[in-house]
Structure 1
Amino acid sequence: MSDVFRTLENKKLTAIDGPNFSGRTYLLRLMTGLETDVEGRYPQSNTQGQGAAYIGPEIYNAISGLAPTVEEELNIHMAGSRNKEELEKMNEILGLSDLKQRNPVTLSGGEQAMLTLSCALGLSPGCLAIDSAFEQVSTENRKQLTSRIMKGAFPDTSFFLADNRLSEYPEIQETVPISDQIHTPDDQRLLSIAPLNADIDLPLSIQDTASLTLDHLDFQYPHGPHVIKNLNLTLEPGRLYTLTGKNGAGKSTLAKLLCGVLQPDQGHIRLNQEIYDAWSHPGRQVGYHFQNPDLQLFSTQIEDEIAAGPGAQQVEARQIEGRTEALMNAFGLSGLKEAHPLEMPFVLRKRIALAATMAMGCPWLILDEPTLGQDHTSALALKSMIDQMSSKGFGIVVISHSEWFRSLLDAEEIKLGDG
């Protein structure tokens, strides 16, 4: 293991490349003192008192929960920080300064990712590991972050980055392949995980998909931003769309309005020109896959999680069984039927939530960052599954900051602006 650390030392930013389940996350957690090696030892650098921080894909877990506003969250971490002046400049560029009075838990996923990075740097750690968190950040903001890191804006911190979008980062010209010397402890290698299988014909069909029309839609969070302003938009039935925009533009908010999680302040949603109250019928016409899968999972077994949606839609038992089995196989989960969803690693929780959304069979699907945490091969398989659903007549909206993934889709782009 010492050879691995010698390979990575003396680099300001080390980008670690490897597929899912290759040991990337384990290596980052090991380097920050959250894991031990196979012999139960912590890495030497962390036994000598050097501070370290880890930001995983579950960025919401990195928010302290102690502060009611972004400003106070930053103050908790930045008080007396050696990086305070540089972080104030960075936060201004990223737009975090405009969010000072927002509650951190109400921010978008990308905004939370930038906030947690700023807070971690406020602690002036000697080592900062970033595990897939940048995948939720827009291209423009990510470039700002990586360029500042690579120019040495934080000279006392060594950065380690694991990310499934490294091919989209032209500013990072050198990556370190995950070493075959990384041997994770036995209890972390016992999951029966299979690759995604996009060749499986999903037993899902739709007779007719209605158009969705947004008629002067308005929405403002209580004591928060006016995210959706007088929005007029028509989504044609059976079409594939990508929904784009900067972090905080309202993409996930719009998805939640369409599926009935949120209620518009003004305006209407129309289904084939008839006013449709999604708030009173959540998940009836529009199925939503959350960017944060943990907000979606509630069952105690993976098989039950995937079957729950069609059960609530009063689908016949035989059809539920067929959908569940097919989706378990397609998402590589057939060996984990009785496992608890929330005990799975993030990459699998994301797949479980995707399968559960598809199983509902709603005429419209909104997939919020479906490739989050998924490697290149898995993303290609997801693209094929989306194509299959689209060919069956489902209307689909994909929200993704991955330019590469969006380029694979034969979709019409809808770009949200600043409110």
Structure 2
Amino acid sequence: MSNKSIVYWASPNEMFALFHSAKDMTTNNLVKTRYILDKILDNINSGDKVAVKVHVGEANNTHYLRHDYIREVVNAIKSKGGIPALIETQGLGLKINVVEISEDYSIHLGHRKNATDHSKIAHLHGYSEAITGAPLEFIDGDKGLDGKNIQINGIHHKTVSVGAGLFKFDKLVVVSHFKGHGAAAFGGALKQIGQGCVTKKYKHLAHFNRVMKINPKRCNISKCNQECIKVCPTNAIKIDGDSAVIDVSNCFGCFLCTRKCPVKRAMKEPLMNNLKDFTERVIDNATAVISSFKPENIRYINFAFDVTVQCDCVSSSGMPVVPDLGIFGSSDPVAVDKACLDAEVNAPGLPIFKNGQWTEPLPPGVEKFKEMLGSVDSKYQFDSAVKNKIGTTEYELIKQERIRTPSPTRINSYVH
């Protein structure tokens, strides 16, 4: 009996028959999305509350996953009697003031830090109930602080705070845009849940080695305006004698206190984690999310289109570095990410316009993300995921059939 996980793959450009007639041949990726969903959503039952994990993309980013694919996922769940809702969590950090987002995108970077701004970006990118057919819910609350602690035996973490709103759902479908990532080498299913389903504190603890600390030798709280106490969103800072102290269990690393402190070096900011530690902590986070469900209750679908070198959480993710690779689906997050990365390695690169000229495309057999990003290493994700026993890198790739005969009624139901 094989220990390999099954990964279904629909290639991006190969002709695909809707019916037995040759005139109905198509390369339509929405049809191929339905094929993958038919293969993997065998676990949805009537009445199931189904969370659909999405990433709406940062403001000004134009390579985020199109809402058309999300609508296909929603429709597929509804066709099985499921009750879908899109889920997301707030981005790292916290703004002091909410800045109005205009329809022409005249906004600053990183505006997914609270529900007000995040919702507006989601709307601008088409992630609304009117377009996708399902509401968008922030499972970690308006500020990204609402979580439930999950115990794990991780590489770095023994406890991870997962978005509290996740636990009302029966099933989870993780929809990911496969692309590069400046710290984790690539972003797929593992990264989608490892940072995208946890509260801000554990997002912070992936990037940084700890939360804030106060240097009592530099802090003289009785002689300053105590702005650090006033601005802390979790009331984690208290007065202890002549110095302020931070309750580290309540601090999530928003950096607001460091910006408000008038005394240099009174606040001891954390250090950035190295890339290996960052990635291992992301996988610890993912482990907590996965352990929150029975294994049979989670499915993963990766869309390897517009495969840029940077992730969707930045406003400018660059040009695609390989041709579109297709759609991958599985019940194993490690296997589906490995299949995507293998496809990226095996594909020819695309020329990139850099420093005023077009570069030579990277050849097949080269990991393009690593070549272009330098010090990143994809093995950190896979090694730590296997160590945490959340999947395997061994997989069997099952390619789409050439002939498929869905009912005309179903095809027509997707035409708007």
TM-score by length of 2: 0.27
With a CA cutoff of 8 Å and minimum separation of 6, indicate the structure with the bigger relative contact order.
2
Higher helix share: 1
TM-score by length of 1: 0.27
